[in-house]
Structure 1
Amino acid sequence: MHNELPENEKALGIIKVKGPQTLLELAAEMNITVEGARFHLLKLAKEGLVQATTESKGRGRPQQIWALTDLGNARFPDMHAELTVKLIDSVRNILGQPALDKIVAANGKAGLERYLKELEEKTDLKARLKGLAAIRTREGYMADVQKDGDGYLLVENHCPICAAAASCQGFCTAELKTFKAVLGKKVNVERVAHILKGARRCAYKITPAG
């Protein structure tokens, strides 16, 4: 999912999901020529959406690596960010932190019940993870599941509530608790990358318990 970007901005979606890319990598992902990819990137760079840095790897020629700028990241919006943060601040200031905690907990409980209902027929861990990623993608998180050693990585390439989470990190705590409850006691779930701590994405390591 690339948040329904127009055709001339599809490179933004690829970089958002896969991280900084070389020109050759982008051309392959977009299934176009290198010159076609260069045309798209230069246009996006002119609009301030991407920027290139040069990296030397081994003895080969230095490569340009293309990444999103802050403006490029803004193409993947934090839904209702300003209003949400104002509401969080109002609840905290008027009703107190305990009241805010109860609201976050209630929201997490409602989400958990919805996830459990949708995934009730998926008993295999991989199928359950794929189903969870599909739900999260529908909610704007651009989620994916990757095999990782003896377990899996549940990756969220975008956070559509980032401003709210930054204002009230109870949302992130509730998210981790929800994933643990959805996936069950037979697995361990650990957050190994966190957007709020400067990572490009949020990622959760899922391994067999014990």
Structure 2
Amino acid sequence: MKTSDKILNKIKREGKITARQLAEDLSITTMGARQHLQALEEEGFLTFTDIKVKVGRPARHWSLTQQGHDQFIDRHQDLSIDIISAIDDTFGSSGLNKVITQREHTIYERYQQQLAHCHTIQQKLQTLVQLREQEGYMAELEESDSGYLLIENHCPICQAAKQCPQLCRSELHIFQTLLADECQVQRREHIIQGANRCCYQITPL
């Protein structure tokens, strides 16, 4: 993977970053990191904000522009949106809901088969993260004070979900149903509502 791609992926996953942090993480010089960041800014993929610190110059924090975020959008998004519109136009909202329900059932069954081999909640969550990572969600699992955070740094169905919010409700329902006997699942951050990521708080019962 090219250094520029590594940088875009890192910022997509972790959010704002400084040249010094980037240099340490990629084992390159700070000057080299700045050059890569500036080049990506010139291409329209990055922007920055300067944040005041107690001593010295303000710290420059780099983040993705909309063009930068668009590098991660599913190439099939236009087709998905067209299909959603066609179903809605042809069969109405009830027909669209039936399709989404069937999609939810199919995904739930597939996830359930994989989680059936897990014996602890942590194993189940790690398996769920692996499944979501394979599907392009750039998923991670973190421990929190009340349990776990399932973090998705990218949404490959984002554009379709903006047109059809039922998709997001369906995905939350899948998680809640999968873990109903052991955990409570709540969405804390939501990409289509302007957040940088989707984040689910998972609290053991």
Q: TM-score normalised to the size of structure 2?
A: 0.96
Shift of 1:59: 4.4
- Whole-Å Cα distance in 1 between the matches of residues 187 and 54 of structure 2? 32
Would you say the 8 A contact 1:79–1:161 is kept in 2? no
Q: Structure 2: which 5+ runs fail to align?
A: none
Question: How do residues 1-210 of structure 1 correspond to structure 2 at under 5 angstroms?
Answer: 6-209=2-205
- Whole-Å Cα distance in 2 between the matches of residues 59 and 37 of structure 1? 22
What value does the CA root-mean-square deviation take over the aligned residues?
1.3
Classify the secondary structure of the residue corresponding to 2:192.
Answer: helix
**How many pairs were matched up?**
205
Structure 1 stretches of 4+ with a deviation exceeding 4 A read none
Larger displacement relative to structure 2 (41-50 or 73-82): 73-82
Classify the secondary structure of the residue corresponding to 2:74.
Answer: coil
Larger displacement relative to structure 2 (116-125 or 11-20): 116-125
Larger displacement relative to structure 2 (192-201 or 37-46): 37-46
- Whole-Å Cα distance in 2 between the matches of residues 6 and 80 of structure 1? 24
- Whole-Å Cα distance in 2 between the matches of residues 149 and 199 of structure 1? 22
Shift of 1:31: 1.9
Q: 1:60 to 1:181 in 2, by over 3 A?
A: farther
CA offset digits 1:133-174 (Å, max 9, x no partner):
110010000000001103000000000010110111111011
Classify the secondary structure of the residue corresponding to 1:164.
Answer: helix
Q: TM-score normalised to the size of structure 1?
A: 0.93
Classify the secondary structure of the residue corresponding to 2:130.
Answer: helix
Residue identity opposite 1:12 in structure 2 = L
Residue identity opposite 1:136 in structure 2 = R
- Whole-Å Cα distance in 1 between the matches of residues 23 and 163 of structure 2? 38
Would you say the 8 A contact 1:14–1:29 is kept in 2? no
Residue identity opposite 1:148 in structure 2 = S
Q: 1:123 to 1:181 in 2, by over 3 A?
A: farther
Shift of 1:129: 0.7
Residue identity opposite 1:92 in structure 2 = D
